[in-house]
Amino acid sequence: MAAMLQPSIILLKEGTDTSQGKPQLISNINACIAVVDVVRTTLGPRGMDKLIHDDKGTTISNDGATIMKLLDVVHPGAKVLVDIAKSQDAEVGDGTTTVVVLAGELLREAKPFVEENVHPQLIIRSFRTAADLAVQKIKEIAVSIEGKSIEEKKSLLEKCASTTLSSKLVGGEKEFFAKMVVEAVTDMGEDRGLKMIGVKKVPGGTMRDSFLVNGVAFKKTFSYAGFEQQPKKFDNPSILLLNIELELKSEKENAEIRLSDPSQYQSIVDAEWNIIYDKLDKCVKSGAKVVLSRLAIGDLATQYFADRDIFCAGRVVEEDLQRVARATGGAVQTSVNNLIPDVLGSCERFEEKQVGNERFNIFTGCPTGETATIVLRGGADQFIDEAERSLHDAIMIVRRALKNSTVVAGGGAIDMEISRYLRQHARTIPGKAQLFINAFAKALEVIPRQLCDNAGFDATDVLNKLRQKHALPSGEGALYGVDINTGGITDTYANFVWEPAVVKINAITAAAEAAALVLSVDETIRNPKSESAQGEAAANAMAGRGRGMGGMMGRGRGRGMRRR
């Protein structure tokens, strides 16, 4: 008997928390479902907003990625959902709530199978197969907008932008903003860098007071005396962009200069003035009428330029300076030597204009036409911030639709069609995989169901009607989705509820990957190393304080006795 007893093996440090097996897997799924329940009500045109209050202030938003970032999720399994929301936001800009809700529903459908001891790898394999089939189906039924005229293309892109904006806080003015976004994106160059579209926020006025500048606009920078004497309007000015200070620089306080003759002091002072005047003179001789610098332009330089009818602005934000350079064709200079005409930018019109309580410097008629600026107006700061986030989504969608020019019907139509297709495909498969692909198909129905729930409609009734339409053998019901206005169903493609195919493809792929990742984890190990180290440090500190106090008390007693 003694020989049979095996000595116990201590593998992990004492205090290590390990959770494993089926309970751990179900715990992770439950955590993900809890996160999904936070954001599911934000889906669709009738989705509710979330008010999140933290150290940085108050944020009101229904953008999935923004909410997930601000939630500060601590559960290691549920963090996967935060990551896929960020990934969707970075890749396509919209569909962040969709991808989280879809991933959560896939896990909800997988949970009963896990509880019945089905091996997670079987579910994962089937989910990946179903995701591949879904992506193929989307590509088949997507409609291309390639080969259309510019006007037609703009009209189609406006429909995509309107669909995105309909679920946002600015949904009431979606046509107004959709037109603005499409114009901003289509007027830009081929590379369509997101940083080339600036969004400036000015509190006050109504949303309709927002406007688009086909060029660059930025808030008036900090200015010195003499600024008001400068001209505020120019036609066809040359623009000089600098990254140097135009200030009178004196020596540092601790500099030591030994002079043998007091008259030499004046020559040192004169040298400082000569340096700054030489720089300013070179700027003027370049022929520039507008001088912008990333660093400060001091009061001497401001007055110098004002006397010569030149406009200047110092401390221009790096991003704005780069957009001016891109728009006007100028190059940012780090020296005033050799200011040849090639390094100067130009535009048709420059003016300083009052917008609300702010003054803006506006450059229009730029030769490259590769930048645009949207100036947003509105009541509360939180409202304008949410409008900016909404426009970011719309801009991303229009850029993606231009690059990958295929669209699908929105409003849950594409989800129901893929669901029907996967159910049919599942019937041709023997074994357990049939059940798992059916579960994937059922999970896709969460999108139209949630759209109905958020709008206060009877989801069961609407889904039954949709299933009936999509099951028609002729395929004529493939474009039917939820009608948010009436609570029934409608041909969403005919009603211009469109979204780029890339949004759906990315959402389904990312959701399937997230579900597979969560299902593949069967053990969590929490390492107590850092916690114990912190505990020891805290204990030592306490002990040290205790000794210190004891010592002080002892000294106090001693002194007291001596005094007595």
Give 444-454 pLDDT, tens digit per residue: 999 999 999 98
Determine the Cα–Cα distance for residues 216 and 373; give it in Å rounded to an integer: 6
β-strand partners of 241: 292
Residue appearing with tokens 């992506």: 135
* Rounded distance between C-alpha atoms, residue 345 and residue 388, angstroms: 29
Q: How far apart are CA 271 and CA 277, in angstroms?
A: 10
Q: What are phi and psi of 240, to 5 degrees?
A: -105, 125
Angle at 342 between CA 321 and CA 230, to 5 degrees: 55
Nearest to 31 by CA among 118, 104, 110, 119: 104
Span 396-436, pLDDT tens digits: 888 877 777 788 888 889 999 999 999 999 999 888 889 99
Q: Which of 142, 213, 201 is nearest to 405 (CA)?
A: 142
Output the six-digit token pair for 246. Answer: 């135009």
pLDDT band at 478 (very low <50, low <70, confident <90, very high): confident
Using the Cα atoms of residue 337, residue 339, residue 345 and residue 349 in order, give the sign of their dihedral: positive
**Residue 333 carries which DSSP code?**
B
Q: Name the average pLDDT for the chain.
A: 82
Whether 158 and 185 have beta carbons less than 8 Å apart is answered as no
Spatial distance between the Cα atoms of 52 and 58, rounded to a whole number of angstroms: 6
Identify whether residues 460 and 506 lie together within a single domain.
Answer: yes
Mean pLDDT over 181-192 rounds to 73
Q: Are 507 and 500 in contact (CB under 8 A)?
A: no
CB 181 within 8 A of CB 391: yes
Locate 530 and state its tokens.
């850092």
Asked if the structure places residue 183 within a domain, the reply is: yes
- 97 catalytic, yes or no? yes
Q: What is the pLDDT of residue 551?
A: 44
Check: CB of residue 512 under 8 Å from CB of residue 128.
yes
**Is residue 98 annotated as part of the catalytic site, yes or no?**
no
CB-side exposure of 328: number of CA atoms within 13 Å?
Answer: 34
| 442/457 Cα distance (integer angstroms) | 20
Q: In the predicted model, is pLDDT for residue 555 greater than 70?
A: no
- Per-residue pLDDT of 17-63, as tens digits, reads 556 778 888 888 998 999 899 888 988 888 888 888 888 788 888 88
pLDDT(556) > 60: no
Both tokens of residue 71?
């939630």
Does 254 map to a domain?
no
Give helix 96-115 / helix 446-455 axis angle, nearest 10°. Answer: 120
- Looking at residue 252, the DSSP 8-state letter turns out to be P
165 inside domain: yes
**Which of these is catalytic: 320, 385, 393, 491?**
393
Average pLDDT over residues 161-174: 80
Let me know: does 372 contact 215? Beta carbons within 8 Å: yes
Assess whether 358 and 227 both reside in one domain: yes
The whole-model pTM stands at 0.75
Are 127 and 105 within one domain?
yes
Q: Cβ–Cβ contacts within 10 Å for residue 121, how many?
A: 11
Clarify whether residues 161 and 33 are in a common domain: no
Of 61, 104, 60, give the one whose Cα is nearest residue 82.
Answer: 104
Flag whether pLDDT at 11 surpasses 70: no
> Residue 173 carries which DSSP code?
G
Looking at 96, 98, 129, 490, which residue is catalytic? 96
| Same domain, yes or no: 355 and 442 | no
Task: Check whether 155 has a pLDDT greater than 70.
Answer: yes
Distance from C-alpha of 50 to C-alpha of 45, rounded to nearest angstrom: 14
Is the pLDDT at 191 greater than 90, yes or no? no
| pLDDT at residue 127, rounded to an integer | 93
Per-residue pLDDT at 107: 93
463 lies in some domain: yes
Return the structure tokens found at 50. Answer: 């979330």
Q: What are phi and psi of 339, to 5 degrees?
A: -85, 80
Query: Residue 15: its pLDDT value, please?
Result: 53
- Please state, in angstroms and as integers, the Cα–Cα distance from residue 280 to each residue in 201, 307, 308, following that order: 34, 12, 11
One domain, residues 73 and 166: no
Residue 533 lies in a domain: no
Considering the domain boundaries, does residue 377 fall inside one? no
DSSP state at residue 288: -
Q: Identify the CATH number of the domain in which residue 179 sits.
A: 3.30.260.10
Q: Which of 63, 89, 385, 491 is catalytic?
A: 63
Number of domains in the chain: 3
Residues 36 and 139 in one domain: yes
**Helix or strand or coil: residue 23?**
helix
Q: Name the token pair of 72.
A: 């500060």
How far the first Cα of the chain sits from its last, in Å, is 75
Residues 241 and 359 in one domain: yes
Could you tell me if 225 and 355 lie in one domain? yes
Q: Supply 68's token pair.
A: 């997930």
Beta-strand relationship, 372-378 and 197-203: parallel
Strand 349-355's sheet: what is its strand order?
Answer: 215-219, 358-364, 349-355, 233-235
Dist. CA 239–CA 320, nearest whole Å? 14
- Residue 319 CB partners (closer than 8 Å, separation 6+): 195, 198
Residue 341 per-residue DSSP state: G
Residue 75 has pLDDT above 60, yes or no: yes
Verify that 38 and 126 share a domain, yes or no: yes
- Give the side-chain half-sphere CA count within 13 A for 459: 13
Residue recorded with tokens 């008001």:
228
Same domain, 415 and 332: no
Q: What is the CATH number of the domain that holds 348?
A: 3.50.7.10
Question: Could you tell me if residue 2 is inside a domain?
Answer: no
453 is known as an active-site residue: no
What are the percentages of helix, strand and coil residues in the chain, rounded to 5? 55, 15, 30
Q: Where are the alpha helices (DSSP H) in 92-216?
A: 96-115, 120-141, 150-166, 174-186
pLDDT in tens, 531-548: 444 444 444 544 454 444
Task: Give the separation between CA 411 and CA 493, rounded to whole angstroms.
Answer: 9
**CATH code of the domain containing 485:** 1.10.560.10
Q: Note if 393 is an active site residue.
A: yes
85 and 121 in a common domain = yes
Cα separation of 461 and 375, whole Å?
44
Strand pairing report for 215-219 and 290-293:
unpaired
Q: Rounded to whole angstroms, how far apart are CA atoms 307 and 302?
A: 9
Please report whether residue 264 resides in a domain: no
Q: Residues 42, 66, 97, 163: which is the catalytic one? A: 97
Structure tokens at 250: 């004196």
Confidence of residue 529 (pLDDT cuts 50, 70, 90): low
Band of the pLDDT at 282, cuts 50, 70, 90? confident
pLDDT per residue as tens digits for the range 509-526? 999 999 999 998 887 777
Taking only the tens place, the pLDDT of each residue in 78-120 is 888 888 888 888 888 788 889 999 999 999 999 999 999 899 9
Tell me which H or E stretch contains 76.
none
**Containing domain of residue 519, as a range?**
17-144+408-523
